[in-house]
Homo-oligomer: A and B are copies of this chain.
Amino acid sequence: MMLTLKPGTSKAQLDAISKKIEDLGFSPHITHGKEVTVIGVIGENAILTRDIFEAMDAVEAVTPISKPYKLVSREFKKDNTVIHLSHGVQVGAEHVIVMAGPCSVDTKERLLYTAEAVRAAGAKVLRGGAFKPRTSPYAFQGHGEKALRFLAEAGKLTKMPVITEVMNVNDVKLVEEYADVIQIGARNVQNFDLLKAVGKAKKPVLLKRGLATTIQEWLMSAEYIMTNGNYNLMLCERGIRTFETATRFTLDLNAIPVIRHLSHLPIIIDPSHGVGVREYIPSLAKAAVAAGADGLIIEVHPKPEEALSDGPQSLLPDQFAKLMAELRSIALAVGRAI
């Protein structure tokens, strides 16, 4: 951590700062520049004392040098993390894993129909919502445990691990019982108690990025999960909020190479929520695979206009099958498979 001092800082102030650094167990390292003086605070976890120095009047700015996260970082673990799910599915290995299914689980029949269709097209994981975070209190909020049961059943019948979202610390045990992967949604990316709870769960977690979460903050939320003991963690980019309104959100594919550079965790892309318009999804799904994503999560529904949520961005089963064929070619072109 480097402290830039305000012009005109006195010798006495400089000494006081140096003393404070030493009192905290670090070493000060002073650089007198032409215009300003900079003090390096040397020692492990110096960054955790940032606020102390930032609160001082003589300090103009504090610049972190080392990264504020550890376990999630590429420095901590050189090799890519591979997560093993049931039915032999591996996330983060050679295969690009496509997760597909309806936004919300509605009837058992329709779910099963969709599950079989996406399975036939090459999906490896079944997605479906039981607890739904909805902006409006008047909107459908999910079928809860019943939906979890349908989902587990459909997964078993079609031999696919299932993924579903948990919104509440009190539901973690329940979701863990039925699901193979626990999803944390964008709106809960900084629900720290929930992060701690899934950090103690035994099932893998998929952590979505929030609408306005920087990549660094997202990795720190991931760190919450890992420090609580759960190392089977994948990250999922699902669109950030920008000024653009032609798409629902701005799917940020830049996150793929950045996460690859900074972390060993698998990176999944959700084009359905990211762009929010059915006809734009295939283009972005293909881009994600070309950019190096480890997986995709895509909404598919046989009757979008009857879906309980997110109909406008759900692909029809035959659109999904067509997309899968195209994705296969792209995967091959980048040395992977689907």
Contacts and interface: CB of A to CB of B under 8 A. Distances in A.
A43 B333 CA distance: 49
A152 interface: no
Contacts of A220: 135-137
A86 interface: no
A190 B133 contact: yes
Contact of A292 (B240, B257, B283): B283
Interface residues of A, number: 111
Interface in A157-177: 167-170
Interface string A274-287: 11001110111011
Contact of A312 (B54, B256, B284, B334): B54
A38 to B, nearest CB: 6
A290 B246 CA distance: 21
A44 B51 contact: no
Given A75-B7, A223-B136, A243-B243, A279 B261 contact: yes
Contact of A55 (B191, B224, B261, B305): B305
Interface stretch (A61-69, A91-99, A116-124): A61-69
A247 B242 contact: no
A240 B289 CA distance: 22
A151 interface: no
A105 interface: no
A205 interface: no
Interface in A99-149: 133-139, 141
A202 interface: no
A232 interface: no
A80 interface: no
A234 interface: no
B286 A288 contact: no
A153 interface: no
Given A55-B278, A137-B227, A188-B191, 12 more contacts: A32-B42, A135-B190, A137-B192, A137-B228, A214-B245, A240-B244, A246-B258, A257-B275, A257-B279, A260-B283, A286-B334, A287-B287
